[in-house]
Amino acid sequence: MSDQIYNIIQLISGVILVILVLAQQRGAGLGSAFGGESSFYSTKRGLEKLLFYMTIIISVIFLTTSLIRIIIS
């Protein structure tokens, strides 16, 4: 029963994580690390900041459920 709950939580958090990553703005990626944009040090505000924090939270949930499933099995 608990394994089924972890499967559902992991599936939902995985889908939400993909959506959040795709919804984030492009720009300060790997290209700017090699001398690209000067806006690399800009601060996140509003919706961009919310998406950033939600991505971190959902990533932690996904990682935690993955580790629990490994330990259980």
State which residues of the chain have pLDDT below 50.
Answer: none
pLDDT of amino acid 10: 95
For residue 30, what are its two tokens? 């790997």
What pLDDT shows up at residue 2? 80
**What is the CA 48 to chain-centroid distance, rounded?**
13
Q: Please classify residue 54 by burial: count the beta carbons closer than 10 Å to its beta carbon, then call 0-12 exposed, 13-18 middle and 19+ buried.
A: middle
Output the pLDDT for position 41: 62
User: Domain residues of the chain, as ranges?
Assistant: 2-72
At 25 the pLDDT is 76
